[in-house]
Structure 1
Amino acid sequence: MNSQRVNHISECFIQRKYEVQESKQPCYLSPWDLIVLSAHYNQKGLLFMKPKIGQDGLFSMDRLLESLKDSLALTLVHFSPLVVNLLLYHDRHRSLIFVDCNKGPGVRFVHATVDVKVSDVLSSADYYIQSVVTELVDGIFIGCSMNHVIADGTSFWHFWNVWSEIHRAGGIPISITRSPIHKRWIPDCYDPADLFLPYIHPDEFIRRYEPPYQPGLRERFFHFSSKNVNALKAKANEEINHESEMAKISSFQALMSLVWRSMIRARGLNPNRVTHCTLAVNNRRTIDPPLCEEYFGNSISVAIATARVGELAHHGIGWAALLLNQAVANHTDKAVRNFVYSWFESPYVVDLGPFLDAEDTVQVASSPRFPIYENRFDGLGKPVAVRSGYTNKFGGKVVAFPGYEGGGSVDLEMCLPPDSMSALELDEEFMAYACRAGNDYCG
């Protein structure tokens, strides 16, 4: 099904509806932004059922496209960094990368079709949408690809929320509910215009990782009902009662404990091998004073739990969950600031290469707290599913989304080599709590 031909219909570039004073100022990046210069774009999209009847009779795809373009142009007034290019200024042996909000072609808007039904996307084991596809046989897929240097997951979905809000308002200028804050955070003792990298050419810090990174990599969506997530949380906390009276395992930590144990078990690694589980942590809530959720940019770090494979197998869900709990608890304001201080002492860009072949690591991205299903575009109703593109995929990668029905349910997109994915789907402990998303027995 991945080989379905995508038919390119049209494309154009969308600029801001009008200029604002803020867009005339350069946007300097923070260490959190610069370290992901070599990361792939964030690619996510929402799948909707195609309406049979529009406001004035039959549904019009042309009318929908025009309304999406108009509302996007108004949305970009509030999100100036999305319409421009990154600029590089080099001075001898170092470079400064920043955003000039006065220069750029705008946002590329593509309309394409594919002979695929919504049910194909929801039920197929291996199906993923390889391009930004707008029109399916009976559905609409609105996808977005955003440079990771410009925004993390929180900011990515903030943009979506504003776009859908403006679209529901009929594409007219409105006072939006949550205005983005574009000034990037760095400690007061540093100048934001002096974040130089020790390179003079992009080839020194940009790595190209063309998919597929691992031949035959399998992607699966697994659904965890709120009932099963709560059961995992209760089980984990019950198991650690005699070990730690202070710690309280969260629902997500309990779920990731199950995922970590199960994915490593499916890889069949040597019991003496060291394994890691990394969780993306939102620094907006960590630093003191905290940043508002409307801070637009990157503000994430990773909390890392470490154990030996044999230890994960010997101990229960609660033990592994406690390791994750402690890793998050250790991620304090002091830890975040120390990271930033050390980066200024020795600036660098993360090389993703080692992650692509790290069979001993489970890397968790995104969050079930993101307001994904709140994106309601006028005339389309509630999204029926969220899907991601092919970027940043490798064995051991887990992408977390809220479940469609809400209430604390979670959907996980999980990536493993073929043999390991088959083993995971036969894992009794894992499948006691999970079901294949999109299947009839997933209710």
Structure 2
Amino acid sequence: MVDILVISDTIVRPENYKVASERVKIHLTPWDLCFLRTEYAQRALIFPKPDPETNMISQLKSSLSAALKIFYPYAGRLVKINNDDETTSFYIDCDGSGVKFVHAAAVTVTVSDVLDPGYNYWTEFFPANGVKSWEGVTKSLLAFQVTELKDGVFIGFSYNHLVTDGASVWSFFRTWTEIFSTGRKKFPPLSLCGWFLGGIDYPIRVPISETVPSPATGKLDAASSLRKKIFRFTSRNISELKAKANGEVAGSDDNLNISSFQAVLGHMWRSIIRNSDLNPEEVIHCKLAMDIRQRLNPPVGKVCFGNMVGLATTTTTAGEMVNNGLGWASLQLNKTVGSQTDEALRRFAENWVKNPKIPSRLVVNNSLTVAGSPRFDVFENDFGWGKLIAVRGGPGIAGHGKILAYPGNEKGSTEIHTSLWSHVLDKLLVDDEFLQHVDLV
């Protein structure tokens, strides 16, 4: 067990918050409510150690307070309403309750320790382990743990997906780091996404049976234990994969253009399935969390705050995946992304409201579930202590096939953080066809 000391555990509230004049109620959409039973998303940023003269913790708290003044929904709480028809409703009350802020120290742990793929003490660096989204009625909707390492700073944080998505989280972080490093506090007012279906009463009513915790599912056997591994795709790797994928499907559609990310995901998906020993008729899925802001008509603002994530699910069989090439796999992802139109998104929402179904877990067998994005400017976050060393995912929302995508610390590169069964990962790590287009981290 790692030697970690919790120095303080406090609540940071928005600066000069006036509840009476600024209290806002935010109703939840079908896309929000689909995350009701899932754990808080967990991420971490690892920085060099600041100058000893820096009053790091007090400055982090004061700048966080100023950032929460702008991003006020984070400082609210979830409200649960028990209706008289065996249903439950939820909304966010922006009441200024504040966010959890833990200050800890692990002075014997180095940055190289926590970056080691075999490091097993991740949970101790995060502030909301195992917390489910519906617990936001009493738990902080956003929580931080700042742990001082021997030679660096580990900022682990957890956020409730009912409130926010990755795009909004990283927008918040850019604001926070800018306030910390420059003292600037004047920013444009927060724009809420505010997209709702017409003709629907809010808050949405969800059957109580869909909101209670679900029983634990079967455990993995010893041979199927999970392991994490990061794969880095350099700009050259990505260019080669994109050219290969588009070359293999050339002529099938004059308007077709497989993106760099679709080519990378196609390579990952095809390689994982090829090494999974599945029966050819086994149905497989790739669930891609995608930003729907600009897919609605009219679109909502690119920087509007909220959770605007839809799961675009590509379905095929293991046999089809193995028997076809990279271009075919990438093309299936391309078609799925292209099908996420305003009409399709509205149809999903309308049907969901009529029969709400909330998954007990996002990561299931024979599926890749992809979150994050190489477009997130995570390496632009700078408190002034030096360039961000690394971004990592936390221990939450685990399962075989969980994928996190982030930009690498080299320009134009992408990192794919994977959680895979050990026997699949072992085969992947000696698969020459896979390894020729990727670097190990």
Deviations 1:237-289 (A, max 9, x none): 01111433331110000000000011112211112212111211111011111
Report the Cα distance in structure 2 between the residues aligned to 1:160 and 1:247, rounded to whole angstroms: 35
Three-state SS of the structure 2 residue aligned to 1:88 is: strand
Amino-acid identity (%) = 35
Give the counterpart letter for 1:365 in structure 2. Answer: A
Report the Cα distance in structure 1 between the residues aligned to 2:380 and 2:226, rounded to whole angstroms: 31
Three-state SS of the structure 1 residue aligned to 2:148 is: coil
Three-state SS of the structure 2 residue aligned to 1:277 is: strand
- Are residues 1:395 and 2:400 paired? yes
Three-state SS of the structure 1 residue aligned to 2:294 is: coil
| Corresponding residue number in structure 1 for 2:168 | 155
Change (3 A) 1:189 1:211: same
State TM-score, norm by structure 2. 0.89
Three-state SS of the structure 1 residue aligned to 2:147 is: coil
Give the counterpart letter for 1:435 in structure 2. Answer: D
Given that 1:214 and 1:394 are in contact with CA atoms closer than 8 Å, whether structure 2 keeps it comes out as no
Give the counterpart letter for 2:373 in structure 1. Answer: S
State TM-score, norm by structure 1. 0.88
Worse-superposed segment, 19-28 or 296-305:
19-28
| Corresponding residue number in structure 2 for 1:5 | 3
Report the Cα distance in structure 1 between the residues aligned to 2:221 and 2:197, rounded to whole angstroms: 39
- Are residues 1:341 and 2:333 paired? no
- Are residues 1:110 and 2:123 paired? no
- Aligned residue among 180, 184, 190 for 2:194: 184
| Corresponding residue number in structure 2 for 1:404 | 409
Change (3 A) 1:160 1:321: same
Report the Cα distance in structure 2 between the residues aligned to 1:22 and 1:169, rounded to whole angstroms: 28
Change (3 A) 1:64 1:213: farther
Give the counterpart letter for 2:179 in structure 1. Answer: I
- Are residues 1:194 and 2:203 paired? yes
Give the counterpart letter for 2:425 in structure 1. Answer: M
Report the Cα distance in structure 1 between the residues aligned to 2:254 and 2:116, rounded to whole angstroms: 43
Given that 1:117 and 1:137 are in contact with CA atoms closer than 8 Å, whether structure 2 keeps it comes out as yes
| Corresponding residue number in structure 1 for 2:73 | 81
Report the Cα distance in structure 2 between the residues aligned to 1:210 and 1:320, rounded to whole angstroms: 30
Report the Cα distance in structure 2 between the residues aligned to 1:402 and 1:116, rounded to whole angstroms: 25
Deviations 1:203-259 (A, max 9, x none): 843347699978631001111101100100000001111433331110000000000
Given that 2:14 and 2:96 are in contact with CA atoms closer than 8 Å, whether structure 1 keeps it comes out as no
Given that 1:126 and 1:219 are in contact with CA atoms closer than 8 Å, whether structure 2 keeps it comes out as no
Give the Å deviation of 1:77: 0.7
Three-state SS of the structure 2 residue aligned to 1:301 is: strand
Change (3 A) 1:11 1:210: farther
- Aligned residue among 186, 192, 211 for 1:175: 186
Change (3 A) 1:266 1:22: farther
- Are residues 1:274 and 2:283 paired? yes
Give the Å deviation of 1:23: 3.1
Three-state SS of the structure 2 residue aligned to 1:295 is: coil
Given that 1:213 and 1:393 are in contact with CA atoms closer than 8 Å, whether structure 2 keeps it comes out as no
Report the Cα distance in structure 2 between the residues aligned to 1:83 and 1:293, rounded to whole angstroms: 22
Give the Å deviation of 1:334: 0.5
| Corresponding residue number in structure 2 for 1:431 | 435
- Are residues 1:143 and 2:156 paired? yes
Given that 1:67 and 1:167 are in contact with CA atoms closer than 8 Å, whether structure 2 keeps it comes out as yes
Report the Cα distance in structure 2 between the residues aligned to 1:149 and 1:66, rounded to whole angstroms: 29
Aligned length: 416
Give the counterpart letter for 2:169 in structure 1. Answer: F
| Corresponding residue number in structure 1 for 2:40 | 41
Report the Cα distance in structure 1 between the residues aligned to 2:41 and 2:219, rounded to whole angstroms: 16
Three-state SS of the structure 1 residue aligned to 2:415 is: strand
Report the Cα distance in structure 2 between the residues aligned to 1:390 and 1:384, rounded to whole angstroms: 19
- Are residues 1:205 and 2:199 paired? no
- Are residues 1:361 and 2:370 paired? no
| Corresponding residue number in structure 2 for 1:124 | 117
Change (3 A) 1:33 1:208: farther
| Corresponding residue number in structure 2 for 1:441 | none
Change (3 A) 1:210 1:165: farther
Given that 1:78 and 1:179 are in contact with CA atoms closer than 8 Å, whether structure 2 keeps it comes out as yes
Report the Cα distance in structure 1 between the residues aligned to 2:148 and 2:267, rounded to whole angstroms: 37
Unaligned segments of structure 2, at least 5 residues: 127-145
Given that 2:37 and 2:211 are in contact with CA atoms closer than 8 Å, whether structure 1 keeps it comes out as no
Deviations 1:304-357 (A, max 9, x none): 22222122112110011111111111111100011111122122322217x34x
Given that 2:228 and 2:419 are in contact with CA atoms closer than 8 Å, whether structure 1 keeps it comes out as yes
Give the Å deviation of 1:363: 1.3
Give the counterpart letter for 1:182 in structure 2. Answer: L
Report the Cα distance in structure 2 between the residues aligned to 1:213 and 1:71, rounded to whole angstroms: 43
Unaligned segments of structure 1, at least 5 residues: 438-443
Give the Å deviation of 1:395: 0.4
Three-state SS of the structure 2 residue aligned to 1:194 is: coil
